[in-house]
Amino acid sequence: MSRYVYDFNEGDASQKDLLGGKGANLAEMTNLGLPVPPGFTITTNACRAYLESGDQPPELGAEVDQHLTALEKEMGRTLGQADDPLLVSVRSGAKFSMPGMMETVLNVGLTDESVEGLTKISGSGRFAWDSYRRLLSMFGTTVLGVERALFDEALDGAKSARHVDGDLDLEVEDLRQLVATYKEIIAEHADREFPQDPREQLDLAVLAVFSSWNTDRAKIYRRREQIPDDLGTAVNVCAMVFGNLGDDCGTGVCFTRDPASGHQGVYGDYLPNAQGEDVVAGIRNTLPLTALGDRDQKSYDELLQIMETLERHYKDMCDIEFTVERGKLWMLQTRVGKRTAAAAFRIAMQLVDDKMIDKDEALRRVTGEQLANLMFPQFDKSGDLELIAKGMAASPGAAVGKAAFDSATAVAWAAEGEDVILVRRETNPDDLSGMIAAKGVVTSRGGKTSHAAVVARGMGRTCVVGVETLRVDPRKKDFRTPDGAHVQEGDVLSIDGSTGEVFNGDVPVMPSAVVEALLSQGQDEATQDSGARDDAAETDHAELVHAVTTLMEHADATRRMGVRANADTPEDAKRARVFGAQGIGLCRTEHMFLGSRRKLVERVVLAHTEEQRESALKELLPLQRDDFLGIFEAMDGLPVVVRLLDPPLHEFLPDLTDLSVKVAVAEALGEPDEAAAQLLKEVQRHDEQNPMLGMRGVRLGLVIPGLFLLQVRAIAEAAVELRKRGFDPRPEIMVPLVGDVKELAIIRAQAEATIKEVGAELEMDLTYLIGTMIELPRAAMTAREIAHEADFFSFGTNDMTQTTWGFSRDDVEAEFFPRYIDEGIFHVSPFETLDIAGVGRILSMAAWEGKETKSDLVLGVCGEHGGDPASIHFFETILIDYVSCSPFRVPIARLECARATLESTGSQQS
């Protein structure tokens, strides 16, 4: 029989699948002997059973009874006991952290009767009635589905009637009346009274937390973070400890290192006389963690010791929630903390230097996506800037966009291609869609552990919080500052998430310092950073650069797969090389035949005689040779895979519609244009209904004599010329869109003959690898045969995805992909991350069978997926030899290839 409930002293940190992250870590802290309020965890299995059936498992009630009885015995009180009530919190806790996405209910067990008992036992009527109104608000919103705004408006009304600004300024009678108002709101809008049975409160709260797994915001968050939908959440039931009993109490969130920068020190937020949700929700501006030391040195010193204990135990930066109740410190939660990209690299390297982890583990702690965030541009502040406010730097980066004061506007504008800055008093979980759409987020309230800060850091969004001088008016959709600045909806803002600065207008940006470092790492001599920095900024810069370059060097020494670049020009080739590319995995040649050369290709295609075709090819040869000279020189000593001409035939011919209009107009004017009319006939003859599946790739080379051989000759002649000049060119020739081995065999034989001919003419022995793109399902299915004629396979995952799914990428991504993602058909576009179940299986089979035929067959990937972290990890499992991606993503691919190697070797060892 399944077991659904575990006490905190029965689990450990390894049981996140069963107990969720929060429950597993509460158990781990209990095992460490840290001061954790007693409680129990209802497992993710129970949640999944409830979500599948719509009802809780039959055994769950009895198990909760058993563990609740044990908790009551330990505490010496019963849930909701009239004279001295045991109160509990009911909190979500999934395997993967989803901050603010699911529900929490505090003070469960308070009733009209027990609130009087709590008043007597605590000696504070204000505390008791404040706790009761909090329960009513949370329970009404979370469990009974009443709009949060109704409770907020009632609270604002009570403060307005008392002529005060803060919740703490309300008197006992104000809170009594507020409780009565809240109960009336629930009765009116929930069609039932607030339950006065403490056990009913608990049961309903547990089911509400289960149900919160499938709220819209939770689904959006999981989709963005690629968290599986079938995991479910655990529920943690914990004896309440109170930070809102008076000024000698409080609550806070702290980090063992700065989550924004990675620096060691004391970081966190503290609120006296408050409950934990006040800190996380950002509804009150917090004090620095050191304020606890000014009020309660004993608890502060104990907290610092526990912070050190937890970091050394977890060997990572920890995020900790705590409460102080009348001088007693309680630990409510810990987890490995979310951090910015810069902090991730700094912390990983610091832990290596401290000998807490090795470099392999450090690589596991950083990601390609984080490296990409570090490569974002930064503000150029050398000009005249209008600084209008400054808050807390919550998530770094430079973001510029139009001010939007609600999430719906941010989403709508972003869908129209606008850059947006979301401006809020504070964000709540319902703002997630707006935060995803926006380039950056600004809030006037909250601290570094508020919802806005935590979620923005997790998403890599630039974020500034706690900008107290902003007077944000959501209804008027504007804000003002005491200095007279007035920003309305649609005005442009620039925010610096590294400094907390908010600027009016569009601030220019400059390249990332990490990009400079990576470029320097790829050159013989490091370039000097010309940006002016003060001493502290210079130290930060040097530390970050050291962390990135050291870990990148280790990544290069660790990874099995090579990393090449997709580059079509000498400039791109040079950029790729300094970013660490080990060659070019895809040099597209189609752009070389457009522009002024298009007419020459048109002459080749429409030639009526051999002489006409040869004349045009002869003119094209030196132009194509010069193209390759620059690229081969830039990649001296490294392989360059040149893809022969691939685009559809119509791209080289006059536009059919324009030409038809021209001919028709000439005839209508009585001035027929015979040449245009004849050209029209030729274009009509070559017209295709679906050109992407028509005359392109290898078919061009077979049907139009001399076109591919022109390119092969240009490649060979360019390589010979560079060899004579002392260079070491290493071209490889790739035949596109092959579907049958005979197609490749014919082109290969012609290419080898041309190469031999060039070698004889120039008195040089020439041998080049010749391979093919595997981008059609039929090519993959016949890979065993095709490998006989290929020296390498390069998987074209873009076209393979299109032809496997039957999608036209240009049409479907905007047309129905959003709906597919909403419906859960995709978690992410298959053009961004490889469809492993379908396309991945095809690639795996082709790779295996190709290697069976020819053990030294080189396998590469040259589609967009070559730079996608998740896809790279799959390519490691099917033993791809190299990936190729855009030059800017080369460092990301280098890092992820190393992480994939470590993941693969780790799974093999286990």
Judged against a pLDDT cut of 60, whether residue 530 lies above it is answered with no
Judged against a pLDDT cut of 90, whether residue 605 lies above it is answered with no
Question: How would residue 533 be classed by pLDDT, with cut points 50, 70 and 90?
Answer: low
Across residues 186-201, what is the average pLDDT?
Answer: 96
Q: Greater confidence, 533 or 187?
A: 187
pLDDT value of residue 523? 62
- Give the single-character DSSP code of 836: I
Burial class (CB in 10 A: 0-12, 13-18, 19+), 2: exposed
Across residues 810-829, what is the average pLDDT?
Answer: 77
Q: Note whether 495 and 503 are within 8 A (CB).
A: yes
State the chain's mean pLDDT as an integer. Answer: 90
Judged against a pLDDT cut of 70, whether residue 534 lies above it is answered with no
Across residues 359-376, what is the average pLDDT?
Answer: 91
Across residues 552-571, what is the average pLDDT?
Answer: 95
Judged against a pLDDT cut of 80, whether residue 449 lies above it is answered with no
Alpha helix locations (H) across 271-358? 276-281, 290-295, 297-314, 341-353
Judged against a pLDDT cut of 70, whether residue 542 lies above it is answered with yes
Q: Greater confidence, 362 or 539?
A: 362
pLDDT value of residue 526? 35
Judged against a pLDDT cut of 90, whether residue 561 lies above it is answered with yes
pLDDT value of residue 355? 95
453: closest CA among 282, 226, 278, 264? 282
- Cα 696 from Cα 322, distance rounded (Å): 65
Question: How would residue 141 be classed by pLDDT, with cut points 50, 70 and 90?
Answer: very high
Question: How would residue 535 be classed by pLDDT, with cut points 50, 70 and 90?
Answer: low
Q: What percent of the chain has pLDDT over 90?
A: 67
Q: Which two tokens stand for residue 456?
A: 């923005």
Judged against a pLDDT cut of 60, whether residue 532 lies above it is answered with no
pLDDT value of residue 529? 46
- Cα 846 from Cα 824, distance rounded (Å): 29
Range with the poorest average pLDDT among 425-439, 732-746, 852-866: 425-439
Across residues 92-115, what is the average pLDDT?
Answer: 92
Q: Which two tokens stand for residue 595?
A: 């522009």
Apex 333 CA angle, 329 and 339, nearest 5? 120
Which residues are identified as catalytic? 451, 862
Alpha-carbon torsion 601, 607, 610, 612, what sign?
negative
Q: Position 161: which residue type? A: A
pLDDT value of residue 282? 64
Alpha-carbon torsion 47, 48, 51, 52, what sign?
negative
Apex 876 CA angle, 872 and 879, nearest 5? 135
Q: What is the pLDDT of residues 628-667, one digit of tens each?
A: 999 999 999 999 999 999 877 777 777 778 878 888 888 8
Q: Which two tokens stand for residue 486?
A: 């007035």
16 three-state secondary structure? helix
pLDDT value of residue 601? 77
- Cα 771 from Cα 775, distance rounded (Å): 13
Angle, helices 674-686/656-668, rounded to nearest 10 degrees: 150
**In whole angstroms, what separates CA 37 from the centre of its chain?**
35
Cα–Cα distances in angstroms (integers) from residue 752 to residues 631, 744, 776, in the given order: 22, 12, 24
Q: Note whether 431 and 424 are within 8 A (CB).
A: yes
Across residues 390-416, what is the average pLDDT?
Answer: 92
Q: Position 309: which residue type? A: T
DSSP notation for 64-116: HHHHHHHHHHHHTS-BT-SSS-B-EEEEEEESS--TTTS-EEEEET--TTHHH
**Cross-sheet strand order for the sheet of 398-404:** 386-390, 501-504, 492-496, 398-404, 420-424, 440-443, 462-465, 392-395
pLDDT value of residue 862? 93
- Cα 540 from Cα 224, distance rounded (Å): 30
Q: What is the pLDDT of residues 476-487, one digit of tens each?
A: 999 999 999 999
Q: Greater confidence, 671 or 842?
A: 842
377: closest CA among 459, 462, 437? 462
Q: Which two tokens stand for residue 845?
A: 């089979």
Judged against a pLDDT cut of 60, whether residue 528 lies above it is answered with no
Q: What is the pLDDT of residues 206-239, one digit of tens each?
A: 999 999 999 988 988 888 788 888 999 999 999 9
pLDDT value of residue 840? 97
652: closest CA among 709, 715, 587, 696? 696
Q: What is the pLDDT of residues 160-192, one digit of tens each?
A: 999 998 888 899 999 999 999 999 999 999 999
Q: Which residue has the tokens 């791809």?
A: 880
- Give the single-character DSSP code of 465: E
Q: What is the pLDDT of residues 562-582, one digit of tens each?
A: 999 999 889 889 989 999 999
422: closest CA among 222, 411, 393? 411
707: closest CA among 696, 694, 722, 717? 696
264: closest CA among 255, 275, 273, 274? 255
pLDDT value of residue 649? 72
Q: What is the pLDDT of residues 755-810, one digit of tens each?
A: 999 999 988 999 999 999 999 999 999 999 999 999 999 999 989 999 999 987 76
Q: What is the pLDDT of residues 254-298, one digit of tens each?
A: 999 999 889 988 899 999 988 877 776 666 778 999 999 999 999
pLDDT value of residue 537? 67
- Cα 499 from Cα 412, distance rounded (Å): 29
Across residues 861-876, what is the average pLDDT?
Answer: 93
Q: What percent of the chain has pLDDT over 70?
A: 95
- Cα 353 from Cα 609, distance rounded (Å): 73
Q: Which residue has the tokens 């370059």?
A: 549
Count the alpha carbons within 13 Å of 898 in the hemisphere toward its beta carbon: 23
Residues β-bridged to residue 253: 269, 321
Question: How would residue 521 be classed by pLDDT, with cut points 50, 70 and 90?
Answer: low
Kind and range of the H or E run holding 230: none
Question: How would residue 618 be classed by pLDDT, with cut points 50, 70 and 90?
Answer: very high
Judged against a pLDDT cut of 90, whether residue 825 lies above it is answered with no
Q: Note whether 447 and 389 are within 8 A (CB).
A: no
